[in-house]
Homo-oligomer: A and B are copies of this chain.
């Protein structure tokens, strides 16, 4: 069967919701297409496949595939198996707790960890050097303090966000 690349028309409602999630994506350093895809899935009445989304948003297959991969990577969407169809169908995950913790684990945690590594390296440099002023020692100590606090924030945010569902 030939795929129909029919003209895409988003309802005013869909457009607004998509625009909202595009904004969020931007805030989270994610590509625009990720926000668009999630916005459509969030308002979808039923599971959608890659081609449904590609056509609806009028974006390329590559972008769609990449965007869905990112959304899957932190659990913002789920794959739904539709019997008798070879395609993968997707629905938006509706638990903010799951999305937020997925995002935290996949997108934030690695940064915090590489930050810790770098901070260790900084400590080493500080100890190697002989003539380091007390002021610099203080600064690096402060850096460690900040790092410690940053590490404390994430779990609390997740607990706060994930209250009920």
Contacts and interface: CB of A to CB of B under 8 A. Distances in A.
Chain A: number of interface residues, binned into ranges: 35 or more
B156 A125 contact: no
Main secondary structure of the interface of A (DSSP, over half): helix
Interface in A41-98: 42-43, 45, 94, 96
Given A122-B17, A146-B96, A43 B160 contact: no
Interface of A: 12-13, 16-17, 19-20, 23-24, 26-27, 29, 42-43, 45, 94, 96, 111, 114-115, 118-119, 121-122, 125-126, 129, 132-133, 135-136, 139-140, 142-143, 145-146, 149-150, 152-153, 156-157, 160-161, 163
Task: Give this chain's copy count.
Answer: 2
A142 B94 contact: yes
A13 B133 contact: no
Nearest to A142: B94
